[in-house]
Structure 1
């Protein structure tokens, strides 16, 4: 062993080889295995990794029929801890998926779960992506980048009763939830009711900050009842303080594969749960990296849970303090851990033990991810850290899976019409009717081209009355370009100085017919110096990119229809989840998004909302403000208003 540039002896930990589970099988024995489990609820976990989600599903009541991944170490771990199949497959390959679907056709699969990698994609490519989804994602040139399509392809052909997909919130936040909306649309076409939630893992007993995106679907009943959230978070003291402590010496080994374990008298409820099924008097994999001499000085002399890297003496820093303000983080006993990620396999400086002068051990990281002590990880220490960091916390998996358990007496594939699909249908019909009348300029459609979209985008932020805006829009109706004559007319009709200033920004493209052409229309916002909100509205009105227009009015409509507070708290996360349920995906998503903008501005106001005139009134479960002057008035189907 040599120290090299790392300042500690370089060593590769021993390789832990794990035997398969007693009830494990291979493909040849799968039929026989199914015979022994013919009365079980069977689940499949795609992109399973070590099996955090599998464990949660199993503890919720299913039997794992198969776990699929491409990582050999993770599959060795999965095969040891679970019955059924552990298959090494590249699901990006359509022929491999064909083989898997054929294999699973022998079984009645009740649940397909998984956490496929989901890179956000550009708005411009969304129509192509939707076409791929409709063709089961079978484009061989695209599958390796978009493995969520492979996941959806398998769900489409296996047709389980229930579906569970887990991912990082960035899957949705990175591209206006386009992937999520497309998946939901496809599942609804197949007869599934769906639910998307952003979930804080700590609220389901996981002792760390970790927010995840959960998509659930079921075809038996539209019911998604989550267990109550915990009232008090499980902190690190409760999670890991019972594990053996170390007197750390610089450059010496820290921990072992197997150590004595003495259960304390005051064992926490969480730790007691983690010890279930573990061998008495023994703890496994309680080991971590050696500690450098300078790190030991930092940990022992300077590091508290409040210390920033920039607070350390300059002589002890190996990294730039301006770029690495949180390079080192000592955790606190009375708090949650920061999120355990796969990065812990490379270094553990984000996870310094609350008191010991070292980074977390494999077992401590596993505990924080809610893997019980009986769960072992194949491979080296780094392999274990990587598997743990990539995993779904089993307690979170258990909470999510429990939501889609079968309900006694409900038939599978009951032919339900999902609620949110009905909401979107009603919203689209209203928008389509409004577009055919005087409100054409508020919506994408045949009459909305670059000149109309640009003028409307500029007027949207003005304080003009709706009738005054309509008069200006009638001037540009049907125009293929903004000519000098049209420009003069709309400036004349602008009733405020602010509106005149806004419209005068069209000047650079006046009489430039080529600038408004189909080929050049996407450059209009840049040439006219549009602000982000103006460009977003311009793009929405052209109807070619199904973006979310995050306005306070639209968020308010979505929150009230959902019965949530997403327009007031966590607007860009929970608020956007509320919004996507109403917007959906597909060719009419832009129309529905524009409709929500109109409803938010015209009816669903912060105070004194015009609830009786709102096209979503029968779907709205939110409580209107107490000063709603119209709360005693309703509308008949023929449009006449009556008092209650």
Structure 2
């Protein structure tokens, strides 16, 4: 029987997707999402749609789902035609805000929904990542914050919602994800990460003000916190096997078969009455971005602030080689630019679309994970528009990278291509924001896909100069390892934000294998007979 999973702060469901896709020894599902909670409307719609998809066995997904992806059927009609599966999905994916601020749902209702979803199951898994913007280095720098203050930013304390659920419901195992910036974040009282580790070890002491409910004393064994990349030895007095070694908790995804250098803190908590030392993730070869971007239909960028057509776009690219533009540029780079200009064609698919018919969709890395032959094309594959001056920069930068195998810094751009921004001189001379334009290099894993991709494409330039554009939502999703049949709802901006904030599902899938061994271990089986868990309240 599948192990129930409660997913908090679920986003579009990347973490849950990885666990849901893991088969058990009999070919069924090892894990099943019992409840996922997300406050952002578009992400919740994506979450619900994926839950609907999972109501069917892989080979039995109805044609109507693919008709929706192709834009031939509305979402409401899809749910109308499959009411039973839609009702389960809408019940599983809960649109709710956790916390204590305005609009937050009452804790009693959260507890009721969790208990209803678990249906009496005692051995279960809690996953999720409290919102990370408060902890990120870039976010703190932008807000000019040296110290985090929960009274000014409620996101600082949102992990306490996670703590409270650990204390009250005492799952066997939890997996918590957050940004690497958490390691350097501080409150006035203590380093944030040290406090979080201590709190997660003994959530009841922090999250339960009153340990008596209805005449009963509530008890929670607490948790040992493990690294997923460094094998644990003997425990320290606090019960944290890797306590104090902060980098032990950082997963560098490029080391584990993810085509992206995404570095995130991921904590694995095992309840203290379960005497199991978990395995760690297995190293894998680096996956270059070419292995997941090649095989998608070629499209072009659009031209903003003016007329746009295939012909005008091609003519705009040719201007990168006009007299004086490439003065002082290395001869090999110049030759590459001329060579690429000769190879520019008018893409048959134009700027792409929310669905692009394309029977030849392929991928050279993990086709079993990405591809779905029933799609007959690719969804969420529409390009952004760019100013002509940015097209020239994109063309130069992507051509430069083909020769040098790295993305150029601002001081490597010709003067004629530098943007008219007041901090450009600072970027050239002091190297501050010197990579404000960044191409993903074919033979390397991508840089981190972040939610900033929703604002502009300067950090996410496609490596093929002849397409001269930033990444599409589908390309970003492939780098994040979402399967091609995973559809993102909302506007393009909302879709990019969801993809950028997600946990790579293929990484979550590997974590799920580690977690499954904990649940299946003989020591855990014996603990089930006498679980020291909190009484239901």
Question: What is aligned with 2:194?
Answer: 178
Aligned residues: 359
Residues 1:154 and 1:244: Cα distance change in structure 2 (over 3 Å)? same
Q: Quick check: 1:310 aligned with 2:416?
A: no
Question: What is aligned with 2:311?
Answer: none
Deviation at 1:272, TM superposition (A): 4.5
Residues 1:46 and 1:242: Cα distance change in structure 2 (over 3 Å)? same
Q: Quick check: 1:97 aligned with 2:123?
A: no
Q: Quick check: 1:281 aligned with 2:376?
A: yes
| 1:269 alignment partner, SS class | coil
Q: Quick check: 1:386 aligned with 2:497?
A: yes
Deviation at 1:250, TM superposition (A): 3.7
Residues 1:186 and 1:243: Cα distance change in structure 2 (over 3 Å)? same
Deviation at 1:247, TM superposition (A): 4.6
| 1:404 alignment partner, SS class | helix
Residues 1:54 and 1:315: Cα distance change in structure 2 (over 3 Å)? same
Residues 1:335 and 1:211: Cα distance change in structure 2 (over 3 Å)? same
Q: Quick check: 1:72 aligned with 2:41?
A: yes
Q: Quick check: 1:194 aligned with 2:225?
A: yes
Deviation at 1:181, TM superposition (A): 2.0
Question: What is aligned with 1:206?
Answer: 258
Alignment of 1:28-43 (within 5 A): 39-43=1-5
Q: Distance in 2 between matches of 1:141 and 1:315?
A: 44
Q: Distance in 1 between matches of 2:38 and 2:302?
A: 39
| 1:208 alignment partner, SS class | coil
Unaligned runs of 5+ in 1: 1-38, 122-138, 418-644
Residues 1:183 and 1:402: Cα distance change in structure 2 (over 3 Å)? farther
Alignment of 1:561-572 (within 5 A): none
Per-residue deviation, residues 290-349 of structure 1 (Å, max 9, x unmatched): 122112222224542332223323343132322431111111111110000000000111
Q: Distance in 2 between matches of 1:168 and 1:80?
A: 27
Deviation at 1:81, TM superposition (A): 0.1
Alignment of 1:217-256 (within 5 A): 217-219=269-271, 220-230=274-284, 232-248=285-301, 250-251=303-304, 252=308, 254-256=351-353
Q: So what's the TM-score if we normalise by structure 1?
A: 0.52
| 2:266 alignment partner, SS class | strand
Question: What is aligned with 1:115?
Answer: 129
Residues 1:307 and 1:147: Cα distance change in structure 2 (over 3 Å)? same
Question: What is aligned with 2:520?
Answer: 407
| 1:172 alignment partner, SS class | helix
Q: Distance in 1 between matches of 2:451 and 2:33?
A: 25
Question: What is aligned with 2:445?
Answer: 336
Q: Distance in 1 between matches of 2:98 and 2:302?
A: 46
Residues 1:140 and 1:407: Cα distance change in structure 2 (over 3 Å)? farther
What do you get for the CA RMSD once the two structures are aligned?
A: 2.8
Question: What is aligned with 1:162?
Answer: 173
Q: Distance in 2 between matches of 1:140 and 1:156?
A: 23
Per-residue deviation, residues 389-411 of structure 1 (Å, max 9, x unmatched): 01111112122232222115323
Whether contact under 8 Å (2:34, 2:92) holds in the other structure is yes
Q: So what's the TM-score if we normalise by structure 2?
A: 0.62
Q: Quick check: 1:269 aligned with 2:365?
A: yes
Q: Quick check: 1:44 aligned with 2:58?
A: no
Q: Distance in 2 between matches of 1:183 and 1:334?
A: 42
| 1:235 alignment partner, SS class | coil
Q: Quick check: 1:349 aligned with 2:458?
A: yes
Equivalent in 344, 350, 375 of residue 486 of structure 2: 375
Equivalent in 371, 387, 395 of residue 300 of structure 1: 395
Q: Which has the higher contact order (CA 8 A, sep 6+)?
A: 2
Deviation at 1:156, TM superposition (A): 1.2
Q: Distance in 2 between matches of 1:101 and 1:255?
A: 45
Per-residue deviation, residues 56-108 of structure 1 (Å, max 9, x unmatched): 12123211111111101100100000145111222113862221112222322
Q: Distance in 1 between matches of 2:152 and 2:441?
A: 48
Whether contact under 8 Å (1:187, 1:194) holds in the other structure is no
Alignment of 1:335-484 (within 5 A): 335-355=444-464, 356-405=467-516, 406-409=519-522, 410-412=525-527
Whether contact under 8 Å (1:191, 1:413) holds in the other structure is no
Question: Which of 1 and 2 has greater Rg?
Answer: 1
